[in-house]
Structure 1
Amino acid sequence: MNDIDIPEAHDTLVDDDFRCGYVALLGRPNVGKSTLLNAMIGVRLSIVSHRPQTTRHRILGISTKPEGQILYVDTPGLHRGGKRAMNRSLNRAARAAISEVNLAVQVIEAGRWTDEDAAMYAALAEQPDVPKLLAINKVDLQKDKTAMLPFVADLMQKHQFDDVYYVSALKSKGLEGLEKGILKRLPEQPAVYAEDEITDRSERFLASEMVREQLMLRLNQELPYATTVEIEAFQDRPDGIAEVHAVIWVERDGQKAIVIGEGGAQLKAIGTSARKAMETMFERKVFLKLWVKVREGWADDENLLKRFGYE
């Protein structure tokens, strides 16, 4: 039994040779992929909220250990029925990741296997040469953990996963076993990145994500999905302060008013929280200036999506 009272495979590396490879974290929206990425690398890199579609870009998180370097690729979840250009972009990003990695980890919620989970597995099955692990997340929320065993046995009988791991990304439980299972399946090769690197993304990109995270956390209902963030300027001033100018794009004037809030209070709160997050990540003082602008239909405009960084 592991420390969350569920049997877990205890893998060991086959030898002492250094291993390195890309690992896709895949799953339906809001299943905990970004929380898992952050827990595996020990840094809050990928933004997190309780809303679906929080992750809109592929994020690379780098974990370097004495045994090897794991390059985690956090992907958007597959969005069924999404008709907007942005939804199609997110689905392309998720599917492309599967064909570009050495190993895939499908993340599901403990005790649940939905149609979206099945769609994700179907996409995985299109790459038969990619090893596939199943990570069952949020097991800490299951009161009767033994009741999950028949559920997992049925899943493993019907689907071709190489192994299954029980984890709580939020509580950082069960992660060591998953990490060992990943490492032993990666190719023997040198590290791709330096030992102290944690991502290939720029500070400019991370700044935009930190502003968008506050939009996801603070705005009600569907409004966060009508917003995106563009960094217009990012420079280090002579006094050592990073100066960041960011535009929050919305689709209608009414949305702009909500983001700004009465007397600018909402926008000020968004900016303050985002600035503090940037200062923690960038390890220096940040001067952040925000604007809110309207661009009708930006989420349906392929050219604008490219400009805003949707690949």
Structure 2
Amino acid sequence: MDGAVTYCGFIAVMGRPNVGKSTLLNSMLNKKVSITSHKPQTTRCQILGVKTVDNRQIVWIDTPGIHITEKKAINRYMNQSARKALIDVNAVVFVVEAMKWTFEDEKVWSLLSKQSVPIIIVVNKIDKIKSKEELLPYLEMLKQKAPQAEIIPISALTHKQLNFLEKSIDEKLPQDHFYFPEDMSSNLSNSFHMAELIRERLMIYLGKEIPYSIAVQIEHCDVKENITHIHALIWVEREAQKHIVIGKDGAMLKQIGTKARLELEKFLDKKVCLKLWVKVKANWTTQSDLLPNLIGYGDDN
């Protein structure tokens, strides 16, 4: 791109928990850089995804969902991370779920409506709507609530109308140099992504409460004879949670480990030997001084 005019901009993806922000990011990048599940609190920190096509580079910032309550340190960290994403961005993509507008959506909008940058309201999950006519009153409500915002209905899961979203974002990119190498898709380390892929399996297989008390750290990663050996620690808050994660005769941990290993092999494109250990770190989600030591919470990420 030497000598050519280039365009580059930062786009923050905001919204309440579990509206499909990470699915949207992965779909726009055509690559899995942010884990997904049907449970809130899946994304816990800012994740940068980078997409470069020809002379245009979009830097996506996937954020944790905004939480109404901040009783625990982990919730405060996630809200702070989401708010930081609004600093010096060129546009904000506000993701909502088709046919739903909650108190949490209202809280996010109250924050975004004060911003001076362009806002694109992305109405996600339209693949669940039987007919377009059903959606029209909802879209009209959004227009009344946010007349200054652009509104684009999409399905992040099926990629429906993502081309309209990308075109809108392209129009908002300023003329600027590329901030990241053209072949880069994420700013985060392999260790971070590996820990997240393991945590994704934990989110999927465990109950409603335990996943939010879990953190994953990669303790060791080494390549030997074309096999990547990964040792990971799974941190929980209580001894009872440790027994649930391990399961009877180790069955649950084995199942999670098997599925996580397959995801890691896709990510690394190599054979993986994965070993998991479960340890207790009492009440880590309530202690601010512990959070920076767990992958995904430090300022470097």
- Indicate the TM-score class for this superposition, using the shorter chain for normalisation: over 0.9
- Number of the residue aligned with 2:229: 243
The answer (yes or no) to whether the contact 2:237–2:283 under 8 Å persists in 1 is: yes
Using the alignment, how far apart are the partners of 1:120 and 1:71 within structure 2? 21
- TM-score w.r.t. structure 1 length? 0.91
Using the alignment, how far apart are the partners of 2:217 and 2:231 within structure 1? 9
Long gaps (5+) in structure 2: none
Match of 1:181 among 160, 168, 188: 168
Larger mean Cα displacement after TM superposition, 149-158 or 257-266: 149-158
1:18 CA displacement: 2.9
The answer (yes or no) to whether the contact 2:43–2:64 under 8 Å persists in 1 is: yes
> Which residue identity does 2:115 align to in structure 1?
Q
1:76 CA displacement: 0.3
- Number of the residue aligned with 1:299: 285
Q: Give the 3 Å change call, closer, same or farther, for CA 143–307 of structure 1 in structure 2.
A: same
Using the alignment, how far apart are the partners of 1:121 and 1:65 within structure 2? 31
Which structure 2 residues correspond to residues 138-217 of structure 1 after superposition, within 5 A? Answer: 138-217=125-204
- Number of the residue aligned with 2:114: 126
Give CA deviations for 1:118-170 in whole Å, capped at 9, x if unaligned: 11111112322x11111000011111322322321221222144311110001
1:243 CA displacement: 2.1
Using the alignment, how far apart are the partners of 2:213 and 2:6 within structure 1? 45
SS at match of 1:99: coil
- Number of the residue aligned with 1:44: 32
Using the alignment, how far apart are the partners of 1:131 and 1:148 within structure 2? 23
- Number of the residue aligned with 2:61: 73
The answer (yes or no) to whether the contact 2:98–2:138 under 8 Å persists in 1 is: no
Using the alignment, how far apart are the partners of 1:112 and 1:265 within structure 2? 38
The answer (yes or no) to whether the contact 2:16–2:66 under 8 Å persists in 1 is: yes
SS at match of 2:86: helix
- Number of the residue aligned with 2:257: 271
The answer (yes or no) to whether the contact 1:22–1:73 under 8 Å persists in 2 is: yes
SS at match of 1:302: coil
Number of positions where the alignment pairs a residue of Structure 1 with one of Structure 2: 294
Q: What percentage of aligned pairs have identical amino acids?
A: 45
SS at match of 2:289: helix
> Which residue identity does 2:56 align to in structure 1?
G
1:299 CA displacement: 0.5
SS at match of 1:170: coil
Give CA deviations for 1:150-197 in whole Å, capped at 9, x if unaligned: 321221222144311110001111101100100110111122222221
Which structure 2 residues correspond to residues 24-63 of structure 1 after superposition, within 5 A? Answer: 24-63=12-51
- Number of the residue aligned with 2:103: 115
Using the alignment, how far apart are the partners of 1:304 and 1:270 within structure 2? 25
Long gaps (5+) in structure 1: 1-15
- TM-score w.r.t. structure 2 length? 0.94
Q: Please, what is the CA RMSD of the aligned residues?
A: 1.5
- Number of the residue aligned with 1:21: 9
SS at match of 1:303: coil
SS at match of 1:188: coil
Q: Give the 3 Å change call, closer, same or farther, for CA 286–121 of structure 1 in structure 2.
A: same
> Which residue identity does 1:175 align to in structure 2?
L
- Number of the residue aligned with 1:9: none
- Number of the residue aligned with 1:225: 212
Using the alignment, how far apart are the partners of 2:132 and 2:5 within structure 1? 36
